[in-house]
Homo-oligomer: A and B are copies of this chain.
Amino acid sequence: MVDLTQLMEDEVFMAFASYTTIILSKMMFMSPATAFYRLTRKVFANPEDCASFGKGENAKKYLRVDDRVERVRRAHLNDLENIVPFLGIGLLYSLSGPDLSTAVLHFRLFVGARIYHTISYLLPLPQPNRALAFFVGYGVTLSMAYRLLKTRLYL
């Protein structure tokens, strides 16, 4: 039987595992953030969620759309749209034998950029803060994709 713990002794793979776990945990934080704004602002999407605030017609006034809640939800969706490619491409890139310091630079830049993206989105900071954060993360993923396709293409 192959000793799987050996995979975890590969430094690039361990670095990928650490940074991925951090950025996915950050993304998960968006769910309680949405719930926080929904509860404090009493803005709900489902009738059963605001049943404790009133019955029937009285509860319907809580079924509305709120700017603040939508902002968190857009940040969450943007995370999904960018972290999913990082997850797939980054995993394959980590297994393709890249240079350790280059790989770690990629992972650090991506995680830093996505955290800054969330801060820019939620405060919000004026543009082009969020746009820059987006493009750094985007560029990192494209750079890993480029290396993969250049060295390991098999169609």
A residues contacting B by CB (< 8 A) are 1-15, 17-22, 24-25, 27-28, 30-31, 45-46, 48-49, 51-52, 70-71, 74, 76-77, 80-85, 87-89, 91-92, 95-97, 121, 124-127, 130, 134, 138, 141-142, 145, 148-149, 152-155
Chain B contacts of A22 at CB under 8 A?
149
Chain copies in the assembled complex: 3
Chain B contacts of A9 at CB under 8 A?
1-2
Chain B contacts of A142 at CB under 8 A?
25, 28
A41 CB, min distance to chain B CBs, angstroms: 17
A5 CB, min distance to chain B CBs, angstroms: 4
Contact assessment for A15 and B155 in the assembled complex, using a CB-CB cutoff below 8 Å: yes
A110 CB, min distance to chain B CBs, angstroms: 13
Contact among B20, B21, B30, B152 for A8, CB-based, below 8 A: B152
Q: A4-B10, A15-B155, A25-B89 are in contact. List 18 more A-B contacts (CB 8 A).
A: A2-B2, A2-B6, A4-B7, A8-B152, A17-B92, A18-B155, A20-B89, A21-B89, A21-B149, A28-B85, A28-B142, A30-B81, A31-B82, A31-B138, A48-B125, A76-B81, A80-B80, A80-B84
